[in-house]
Amino acid sequence: MTGRPPKKVADMRGHMSNKALEDRQAHEDMLFDYEPLVSQAPSWLDPLALQEWARIVPLLKKDIPISELDATLIASHCQAYSDIQRATEQEHKLGMVLDNGRANPAVKQVRDATAQMIRIDSELGLTVFSRTKIHAKGEGKQPDDPFAKLVNQS
């Protein structure tokens, strides 16, 4: 997802109709319907990625309702972070160009892992902000039909 994440209803300023505020609050509340994330990191993460997991998960839990749906995405972010760090160390150690005149493969690894991390963090509809947009788009397309509400109640 590109752009800013949606604001929480409590943080919004300006005038919105009561209906719009109720809709935004309902979308925000839906984020808590997912199974919460457990803090145990996946076993396939390397030690540096595990450190990133330990750093980022408490921060995410504090600010947004992350869920088990986000575990793979967060783990992939952590592993990409580790890949960037390890490749950057190799780049610094060996330089941008190797002794044989060829480009250091670590430079490409840094670029690829960074691009991967950016995609992971902003795509796939698995982030809490993407789910908010998906819910908002899906709910907004339903017509306000009192007869349909009456039929659906029976």
- Phi, psi of 21, deg, nearest 5: -65, -45
Residue 146 lies in a domain: no
Looking at residue 11, what DSSP letter applies? G
- The residues that bridge with 97 in the sheet, in sequence order, are 103
Residue 12 lies in a domain: no
Residue 148 lies in a domain: no
Contact 74, 56 (CB under 8 A): yes
Residue 150 lies in a domain: no
- DSSP codes of every residue in 69-96: GGHHHHHHHHHHHHHHHHHHHHHHHH-S
Residue 55, domain extent: 17-141
Distance, in Å, from the CA atom of 74 to the CA atom of 36, rounded to the nearest integer, reads 13
Helix ranges, 2-127 (H): 18-30, 47-63, 71-94, 105-122
Tally of structural domains, the chain = 1
Q: What is the pLDDT along the chain (154 residues), one digit of tens a residue?
A: 445 555 555 555 556 677 777 777 776 666 667 777 877 899 999 999 999 999 888 877 776 678 888 888 889 999 999 999 999 999 999 999 988 989 999 999 999 998 898 888 776 544 566 556 655 555 544 555 556 556 566 5
Q: Indicate yes or no: pTM above 0.85.
A: no
